[in-house]
Amino acid sequence: MGLVDKGRLPKPLTTLFNMGRSYSLWVYQWGLACCAIEMGAAFGSPRYDVMRLGVIPLPASPRQADLVVISGTVTDKMAPSIKRLYEQMPEPKYVISMGSCANCGGPYWDSYSVTKGIDQIIPVDVYVPGCPPRPEALLEGVVLLQQRIKNEDMGARWRGEGTKAIVREPIVVGGGPVE
Amino acid sequence: MTDLADRQKLSYIAAQAADARLNVELETEGMTLNIGPQHPATHGTLRIIVRLDGEQVVWAEPSAGYMHRGYEKLTEVRTFPQVTALVNRIDWLGSFANEVPFILAAEQLMDIEAPPRAQWIRTILFELSRIANVSLFLGDLGVQLGAVTPVFMAFRDREYVLNLIESATGGRFHPNFDRIGGLKDDLPAGWIAETKQVMKKLRNFCDEIEELLFGNEIFQSRLRGIGVIPAEVAKQYGLSGANLRASGVDWDLRRDQKLPLAYDKVDWKVWTHPDGDSFARCWIRLQETREATHIVDQLLDGIPNGPIMAKVPRIIKVPEGEAWVSTENPLGEMGYYVVSKGDLGPFRVKIRSASFNNISIVPWVLRGVYVPDVISILASLYFILGDIDR
Amino acid sequence: MSDDSTVAELPGDALREGVVQALRDALGDALLDSVIVPQRDVWVRVRTDAWRQAGIVLRDTVGCDYFCFLSAIDWMPSPFGRGEDDPTQPAPERDTEIRQGVTGGDTRMQVFARVTNIAKHFGVTIKADVADDDTVVDSWVPVYAGANWHERETHEMFGIGFAGHPDLRNMYLPTDFEGHPLRKDFPLLARLVKPWPGIADVEPLPGDDSEDES
């Protein structure tokens, strides 16, 4: 859009776009281990339904996804696939790291075959701690991410200043309000 | 039954033909298909490399290791309670069931037995974890074959069981509740009545699934006669659990082994099926879930009173020795060979996980099979990646 | 031969003694040791060159048609302890004596397997030494087809070769992985790099006579 390229995005329009984006996130579920079951419960079960938040858990491929939830232990053998998956996603993209294995290696911190956290490979926006985190914790992570998206500067993002240029402190669920 | 025998013969002939086709010079270019490691149908990160000739599989090879976390090395540097907490995460759907054989092996080495109340409650929680595990299998079975509805029902009914486990142990899954000598805590008040209600709901769920899935014509024609595993081959590969019983072998570790669990105090039945095909495997799991609800009902009526923990020292050092204990876990036979040297932690633990053996038969069973049947055979063999890769 | 059968009249006992006797008849002096825990389990140890023959005897004569698992044990105590040392301090004195377990042994590594007789409800654990300088044993794949994957895993974890195995490549680890993780001299680097923060100093409760842990 012409407005965005020239950097002249007025505030009401940004707010509208951000609201639209945050309430229509398409989540690609990269479920690896036990956290995948809790993610399945959060996204697919009738009780902790995630669709009421506007998040659709059914994209056909990573190329159609806004958000990826990496849940479960990441091993060194699996890491290249995750990197490739992340690169396939179009901007703007967000990453939620679910569970302590994806956050920092978790109970397998001393293993010879486990990557100690996926933030070693891809940049993470939200950390959801737990082993496994309750489905409500994951939904809290999604809600906090939505708050951040609503406060985002869209112009900076679309000018091509990708994820590296924007200094974003990752959110940790349970760590207080987000601005 | 003639229909079934023809299908079995056909698939056997197809397998022979597939083997022979490799030698034909006029062979068309085959295609190598890579299923996984991220695939909705593979229950996790299993990668199967399949070489195809048209629609038929000529050669298949699972490539495991995408979830290999190095359990056996990690157990060597942890103490016994720490290992119990870690070991929950091998079969991550029915987690309590993973702790039990390890704790039993440690108790065997220490030559103590948990008090009867603890044994009964252990058995109840074991069967609850079996129900939680297999009810998700039944839901997922639909998804593998294209029927999406049962999985929502499965998640909904599983929530009841997880609530029960959570109210007793504190964790929805990964309860980490078993201790050497007994259990961590006693049951909360009102748990027994609540569990009886939940068992009724689970029986309704089994009936619903039976009507919805198993009675369906498409389901039957996709699974009957597919992936036949004869009993001899099953035993050679070490298949266990429902996979073995579906081939007609009457072997159930709950009945055939003398362990300090309460299975001999209740009346229950072992289900077998003579066919050995995918349908038999799925059908047996359904019956076993229903049977598990009956076992839990009977156990709830008779829990003895008494202490929940035997007299053990506060800091447990297990004496030197070796012990092997295996139990009938939801996935099959899971066992731990614990070698201890009198230390705070084990010296070596060999974890015999059921899915490792169950999946080792995949190269054999997938020869000559059509591509959609690959998925249904894998679905019926039922594995959890954490169990294969440890 | 050491027999732990102090309680002699129990039926489970006679069954397992029969098993050991059948093995002794078939293998002769290749059966090096056996231990029976009455009503519970039986362990046997055979000579390394009789490993495959013992498997065949177990399958055909003793009737153990169900293959449970196959793996190995490294009996050397770990030079890193439990990885809880402070790297700024000199390493503490550790026990380096290699003591093998239930049926004894002469070498650092042993390969062991378990097979079950489904009809008669018993299982046998069988062990064999693996020579320190020539870590190769015969493969069990011709005996039990399921041994294929187990031997691949044992090979990559311990470095033990299996002669006659059709396809001995890595099971779990990527092909460029160096080292054999389950050997005791393979360190867990994350534990060596910084001092272990979780050492609990447990003091006895008043009136308790359990020991300190440091």
CATH number for position C133: 3.30.460.80
Task: Determine contact: A112 vs chain C, CB below 8 A.
Answer: yes
In this prediction, residue A51 carries a pLDDT of: 87
pLDDT band at B352 (very low <50, low <70, confident <90, very high): very high
Whether C88 is in a domain gets the answer no
A111/B69 touch (CB, cutoff 8 Å), yes or no = yes
Cα(C74)–Cα(C181) distance, integer angstroms: 11
Beta strands in chain B (DSSP E): 31-35, 47-53, 56-63, 178-179, 182-183, 321-329, 332-340, 348-352
> Max Cα separation, chain C?
62
Radius of gyration from C-alpha coordinates of chain B: 22
Asked if C106 and C96 touch (Cβ cutoff 8 Å), the reply is no
Residues 6+ apart with CB under 8 A from C119: C63
Token readout for A37 is 């079951």
Any idea how long chain B is?
390
pTM score, two decimals? 0.86
Any idea how long chain A is?
179
Please state the domain count of chain C. Answer: 1
Q: Give me the mean pLDDT over the C202-213 stretch.
A: 55
pLDDT band at C210 (very low <50, low <70, confident <90, very high): very low
ipTM for the assembly: 0.85
B44/A36 touch (CB, cutoff 8 Å), yes or no = yes
Q: What is the DSSP letter of A33?
A: S
Whether C211 is in a domain gets the answer no
- Nearest chain A CA: its distance from C195 CA (Å): 13
With a pLDDT cut of 90, the percent of chain B lying above it is 24
Q: Give me the mean pLDDT over the B137-156 stretch.
A: 85
Binding partners of C (≥3 Cβ pairs within 8 A): A, B
Q: What is the mean pLDDT of chain C?
A: 80
User: Which of B301, B122, B290 shows the shortest CA–CA distance to B196?
Assistant: B301
Whether C121 is in a domain gets the answer yes
In this prediction, residue B290 carries a pLDDT of: 92
Task: Determine contact: A19 vs chain B, CB below 8 A.
Answer: no
- pLDDT reading at B21 higher than 50: yes
Whether B192 is in a domain gets the answer yes
* CATH number where B151 lies: 1.10.645.10
Three-state DSSP class for A171?
A: strand
- pLDDT reading at B2 higher than 80: no
> Residue type for A24, please?
S
Residues C164-177, buried b or exposed e (16+ Cβ, 10 A)?
ebeebebbbbeeeb
Domain holding C67, by residue range, is: 13-82+98-192
Whether C25 is in a domain gets the answer yes
Whether C46 is in a domain gets the answer yes
Q: Which residues of B touch A30 (CB under 8 A)?
A: 38
CA angle B329, B334, B338 (to 5 degrees): 135
Region for residue A94 given its phi and psi (left: phi exceeds 0; alpha: psi -120 to 50; beta: otherwise) = beta
Cα(B190)–Cα(C143) distance, integer angstroms: 54
Asked if B48 and B35 touch (Cβ cutoff 8 Å), the reply is yes
- pLDDT reading at B294 higher than 80: yes
Q: What is the mean pLDDT of chain B?
A: 86
Cα(B80)–Cα(B78) distance, integer angstroms: 7
Whether B375 is in a domain gets the answer no
- Nearest chain A CA: its distance from B44 CA (Å): 6
Cα(B198)–Cα(C120) distance, integer angstroms: 38
Whether B120 is in a domain gets the answer yes
pLDDT, one tens digit per residue, over A75-104 is 988 888 889 888 988 878 889 999 998 988
- Nearest chain B CA: its distance from A118 CA (Å): 14
- pLDDT reading at B367 higher than 90: no
Residues within 8 A of C (CB atoms), B 17-46 only: none
Residues 6+ apart with CB under 8 A from C9: none
A58 or B111, which is more confident? B111
Whether C201 is in a domain gets the answer no
pLDDT, one tens digit per residue, over C63-90 is 888 999 999 998 888 887 776 666 666 7
Whether B361 is in a domain gets the answer no
- For A57-134, where are the alpha helices, taking DSSP H only? 79-88, 100-104
Domain holding B335, by residue range, is: 71-354
Whether C202 is in a domain gets the answer no
Whether B53 is in a domain gets the answer no
pLDDT band at B44 (very low <50, low <70, confident <90, very high): low
B294 or C177, which is more confident? B294
Please state the domain count of chain B. Answer: 1
Whether B159 is in a domain gets the answer yes
Q: Give me the mean pLDDT over the B271-297 stretch.
A: 91
The stretches in chain A having pLDDT less than 70 are 1-9, 155-169, 175-179
Whether B59 is in a domain gets the answer no
In this prediction, residue C199 carries a pLDDT of: 62
Residues 6+ apart with CB under 8 A from A18: A149, A150, A151, A152, A154
- Nearest chain A CA: its distance from C112 CA (Å): 24
Binding partners of B (≥3 Cβ pairs within 8 A): A, C
